[in-house]
A and B are shown apart, each in its own frame.
Chain A
Amino acid sequence: MRVLLGRAAVLLVALGAWELWARSQNPLLYIPPSKIGPALVRVVRLEAYPALPEHLGLTVVEVGVAYALAIGLGLGLGFLLGLPRHLGEIYEPILSGLYAIPSVVWYPSLMLFFGLGPASKIAFGFLLGFFPVVLAVLVGIRSVDRHLLIVARAFGAGPGTSFVKVILPAMTATVVAGLRAGLALTVVGVIVGEVLGARAGLGYLINYAYGFLRTAEYAALAVLVLVLVMAVDGLAALVEARAQRWAG
């Protein structure tokens, strides 16, 4: 109870300080929280941006395509490299070494190659989402207990049966966690791509509102996107819990 009161106090103090600070500053640059609510209403009622549903739809399609590619190629390459004994040892260090490079350096090249349209956002979202998936498959396969495989073989299980009955359940937890991380990163990649250069999509809309100093609407759009991102991740968390139960 005291903890909850403490949390409420922190939240109130933070919002109050923000409100007071923002009111004393240039309204074009600083938006108090009390102004975000009305702006959010204008945005959601499509008064501020009548084309909001189309932008939202485009972003959803970009995320969907990018994530489908990330899942397909990530799982495919993961199993291709992970199931044979030596391929993973050779290529996993290269894949995880690419993690040491800040992902955004690839974006200008993708934009040059794929243009300003949805393709470059899909490519960047895919790139961000792909790595957690493929690395999770590799880690998952490596974490399968060898003894279980030997026992299964001793009881006469073929490679197919071993795969379905032993390897898949044992690696499910890791892979599903990787799929969830990949989804979050795909969403971020698509939005980053849209903010850095696009003609449509939610990220473009945010950039547009910022460029015209419609700061209250920018803040409202940011809140809207944040809610959508959290909803997607919450859904992914539910699916993850389901899968863990199935595997456990």
Chain B
Amino acid sequence: MSRATRRLAQVGSLAALVAAWEALVRLGWVDPLFVASPLAVARAVGALAPEAARLLGETLGKTLVAYVLSVSLGVGVGLALGTVRHLYDVVNPFLVALYAIPKILVLPWILLAFGLGTAPAVVYGTLHGFFPVCLLVVGGVRDVDRTPILVARSMGATPAQIYRKVLLPAVLPAVLAGMRLGIIFCLLGVLVVEMFGGIRGMGFLLSSLANAFRPAELFAATALVSLLSVGVVLLLEHVNRRLGHWR
């Protein structure tokens, strides 16, 4: 099957889905109090846009701070654990165990400790992003082929040179994979705090629209967040491919 036919089938199916949904609402088979028709959602996007743009910016700002923290901490700790054997042996089990804890269990404590401002969202977002990045980088370092390192060392490369010229380029794919996964988790963490803590931002808008029984605006806001996050992921993938060429 050619790429074009595949795209056509995908777009066609999605269009059919939206049309069926519109028909379902028009025919009165679902209660408009709970489900808005696609047309109503499209109209709500226009009405919601100014407010949503401001709140999206706020949420995105927190996510970005959490993301920078997650990636820098994750890559730093990951490189340290991956290269220093003893450190890995001692610390890695804790890292895996902490990663396995459902983060929702510590959410109330984070609000207790950090109050109701921007800080808990950043901390919780970082908590979500850090572990996947860190574990991917640890795995990436440990999977690096040892032969080029031995060769470089026998040719007289210093540890710093080995790090920069051999290890880092080899670990880059794992770092990039972590960066792509991390952004979604950071956004997830920030949104959960905004929903739970009733702090401003897109998560708060989503939960308050649900509580106010305004499905058209709610679906519009949901669509905006979804588009934003798909957009960010596509952007990262684009950067990823660029860097792939460069390597």
Contact = CB atoms under 8 A, between A and B. Distances in A.
B148 to A, nearest CB: 28
Contacts of A233: 100
A188 B233 CA distance: 24
Contact of B188 (A103, A196, A210): A103
Contacts of A68: none
A101 interface: yes
Contact of A203 (B104, B188, B195): B104
B32 to A, nearest CB: 12
B201 interface: no
A197 to B, nearest CB: 8
Given A7-B90, A29-B113, A215-B112, A105 B105 contact: no
A110 B239 CA distance: 34
Contacts of A112: 34, 210, 213, 215, 218
Listed residue (B104, B184, B225, B226) with the most chain A CB atoms within 10 angstroms of its CB: B104
Contacts of B1: 86, 89-90
A102 B104 contact: no
Interface stretch (B5-13, B45-53, B130-138, B157-165): B5-13
Given A102-B187, A102-B191, A109-B222, A3 B112 contact: no
A6 interface: yes
Interface string B6-48: 1001100110000000000000000000110000000000000
A89 B6 contact: yes
Contacts of A113: 34-35
Contacts of B34: 112-113
Contacts of A107: 195
A191 interface: yes
A195 interface: yes
B56 to A, nearest CB: 12
A109 B100 CA distance: 28
B93 A7 contact: yes
Q: Is the interface of B mostly helix, strand, loop or mixed?
A: helix
A15 to B, nearest CB: 12
Nearest to A207: B108
A222 B112 CA distance: 14
A30 interface: yes
B240 interface: no
Interface size class on chain B is 35 or more
Given A112-B215, A195-B104, A196-B207, A104 B14 contact: no
A108 B209 contact: yes
B17 to A, nearest CB: 10
A104 B229 CA distance: 12
B35 A106 contact: no
B104 A191 contact: yes
B113 A222 contact: no
A206 B184 CA distance: 26
Interface in A168-223: 187-188, 191-192, 195-197, 203, 206-207, 209-210, 215, 218-219, 222
B206 interface: yes
A109 B21 CA distance: 15
B89 interface: yes
A105 B109 contact: no
A104 B207 CA distance: 11
Interface in B183-207: 184-185, 187-188, 191-192, 195-196, 203, 206-207
Interface of A: 3, 6-7, 10-11, 28-30, 86, 89-91, 93-94, 97, 99-109, 111-113, 187-188, 191-192, 195-197, 203, 206-207, 209-210, 215, 218-219, 222, 225-226, 229-230, 233
Q: What are the nearest 10 A-B pairs in CB distance?
A: A210-B108, A102-B188, A108-B210, A6-B90, A100-B233, A222-B105, A108-B206, A112-B210, A3-B89, A101-B226
Interface of B: 1, 6, 9-10, 13-14, 34-35, 86, 89-91, 93-94, 100-102, 104-109, 111-113, 184-185, 187-188, 191-192, 195-196, 203, 206-207, 209-210, 213, 215, 218-219, 222, 225-226, 229-230, 233
Given A93-B10, A97-B230, A101-B226, 5 more contacts: A105-B206, A108-B207, A192-B192, A206-B108, A210-B108
9 contacts: A10-B91, A105-B226, A108-B206, A109-B222, A111-B210, A112-B215, A188-B104, A209-B108, A225-B105
